Structure 1
Amino acid sequence: MDRMKGKVCVVTGGARGIGKAIVEKMAKEEATVVYALDMNEDALNELENAYSNVKGYVLNVTNRENIKEFVELAKNEYGRIDVLVNNAGITADALIQKMEEDAWDRVINVNLKGVFNMTQAVVPLMLENEKGSIVSISSIVGEKGNIGQTNYAATKGGVISMTYSWAKEFARKGANIRVNAVAPGFILTPMTEKMPEKVLNSIVEKVTLKRMGKATEVADAVFFLASEEASYITGHVLSVNGGTIL
């Protein structure tokens, strides 16, 4: 169980839900260090206490200065970042007629520009070392759309487009930098668990496997793409949705 041994990993939105599952998976697979980046300091402290190779760092992916400081810290401590997982994301749902401009801006800034900010800051270090793996979290909503999620769908579709572009861009001149995305379907997280049972049941009806996904199942897919087991995979979107039909 050492498929991430020796790796320096960074996971945004790493304190809860899918992000936490990704951090735990990489920590258990003996990464040298997993930097869990999040706004939730208490949850980060819990992760640090549970795993000796996890380092929590309070970071807002919309704050470019904050990101620059973090990358400098990682560079000074380890000289490299091997894996970047762009997971941080928010929702602010509404039908387009009722969607406030602020709700559009907030979701775009975190889910789309935040992925741009992190990747732009980290990739020079990967290019310097001529290797690295970037995995960004998209969504089935980015592939198929969803009622009341114009802003969220736009960001997650944008993540897919950036993934394709970066896979081409970062592998130029022979650099071994792979860029992929994972598009989860409906996953049981602290956020979805608060949904009414009636809503959850209607979601499950649309899933071929007739159940919600688990955060660990998304983490396994992310881990695969981040690891050397996926050494010949780049510019790919892996759908982890149980056969969901929207």
Structure 2
Amino acid sequence: MKDFSGKIAVVTGGGSGIGRELTRQLAEAGCSIAICDVSEEDMAETVEIAMTGAPQGVKVTAFKADVSNEDQVNAFRDHVRDAHDIDHIHLLFNNAGIGGGSSFVTTPRDSWERTFNVCWFGVYNNARAFMPLLIAADEGHIVNVSSVNGFWASLGSDTAHTAYSAAKFAVKGFTEALVNDLRLNAPHVKASVVMPGHIGTNIARSTFREFSDAEEALSEEEAKAVNDHFRTSATTTAAQAATVILDGVKAETWRILIGPDAVALDKAVRATPEAAYDGDFGMEIFANLRSATDNA
């Protein structure tokens, strides 16, 4: 798929971050897009931004849906068919996600499963709902966003990180299995797994919103400070990440690493897998890259 003009794309988590940037860049390229998110306010802003630079004929629609809920995802699919008057799509970006659900041992089960369900079943539900529409197109591509935590299940030795990591491992494994499945059963549809490092998004804000009622929840001011630091300290922007993803789709790259931290961590884990959870293994890589960036 060398050209997105005239294509139809679906983007989950389109209200902010990478989802917003994918929507903006696709619209500028002449692609019509249907986005979903849990925040109508964020989606409205995305639609306005995307339409500002879109050529005539491009349509961007928004639908409120919780991707972990299969009924809501199916309603989103029906919206896409009706709002865009189509029986097929060309692109599906399973991008929605939240953090949280840190410890399998101490985190309440409902919080743990909420993170896992959004990050894994969000991908599964949308893949189930939209695969027939991808297959109905003359060419299609499904892009599932995993994470460096899809091959390194840690945020450092002092932090439990099980729900998010387990979900992202599932996304990675599912997508890798899809590569061959599609070659056998729908060869005109491609699959890619995206593994971003630290990207400047508002995922921290989304996570705080999701778990705002938890006893350990931060105040609004504290949450904003954490989110702003997460976004501004990233080595890669959401716009840069979206460009890498879209370039990967054009090149039919099935494995897309985003950011120098993702590349370095992938190399380190492959070189010494037995040491991957010793001490500050991965965090030293992140720290060294940040230091190099600050000193550049």
Q: Could you say which TM-score interval applies, normalised by the shorter chain?
A: 0.7 to 0.9
Provide, for residues 84-134 of structure 1, a one-character-per-residue CA deviation record: whole Å limited to 9, x for no partner: 000111111434432221122101211101100000110012223353101
Deviation at 1:39, TM superposition (A): 0.8
Assess if the C-alpha contact under 8 Å between 1:140 and 1:241 holds in 2: no
Shift of 1:173: 4.0
Residues 1:156 and 2:168 are matched in the alignment:
yes
Which residue, 236, 251, 264 being the options, matches 1:230? 251
Residues 92 and 141, structure 2, Cα contact 8 Å, conserved in 1: yes
* 1:195 aligned residue: 226
Do 1:13 and 1:87's aligned partners in 2 also have CA atoms closer than 8 Å?
yes
Choose from 69, 88, 95 the match for 1:63. 69
Corresponding residue to 1:165 among 133, 155, 177: 177
The separation in 2 between residues aligned to 1:157 and 1:11, in whole angstroms, is 21
- Equivalent-residue separation in structure 2 for 1:194 and 1:21 (angstroms): 23
Trace 1:76-225 onto structure 2 (pairs within 5 A). 76=82, 77-146=85-154, 147-173=159-185, 175-191=187-203, 194-195=225-226, 212-225=235-248
Partner Cα separation in structure 2 for residue 109 and residue 153 of structure 1: 12
Q: Distance in 1 between matches of 2:186 and 2:37?
A: 33
Consecutive unaligned residues in structure 1, runs of 5 or more? 205-210
The CA deviation at 1:154 is 0.5
Q: Which amino acid is 2:162 matched to?
A: T
1:36–1:54 contact (8 Å) kept in structure 2:
yes
Structure 2 portions without partners, runs of 5+: 52-58, 205-223, 266-281, 283-296
Give the Å deviation of 1:145.
Answer: 1.3
4+ residue stretches of structure 1 with deviation over 4 A? none
Superposition deviation, residue 238 in structure 1: 1.4
Structure 2 length-normalised TM: 0.71
Q: What CA distance in whole angstroms lies between the structure 1 residues aligned with 2:185 and 2:125?
A: 23
Structure (1 or 2) with the larger CA radius of gyration: 2
Distance 1:16 1:123 in 2: 24
Q: Distance in 2 between matches of 1:142 and 1:59?
A: 25
SS of the equivalent of 1:129 reads coil
Q: Residues 237 and 39 from structure 1, CA distance in 2 versus in 1: closer, same or farther, beyond 3 angstroms?
A: same
TM-score with structure 1 setting the length: 0.84
Which range moves more in the overlay, 56-65 or 89-98? 89-98
Percent identity reads: 24
Question: Counterpart amino acid of 1:120?
Answer: R
Query: What is the CA–CA distance in structure 1 between the aligned matches of 2:191 and 2:203, rounded to whole Å?
Result: 27
Once the 2 structures are TM-superposed, how far is the Cα of residue 78 of structure 1 from its aligned partner?
Answer: 2.1
Shift of 1:225: 2.8
Query: Relative contact order: is structure 1 or structure 2 higher (C-alpha 8 Å, sep ≥ 6)?
Result: 1
Q: 1:239 is matched with which residue?
A: 257
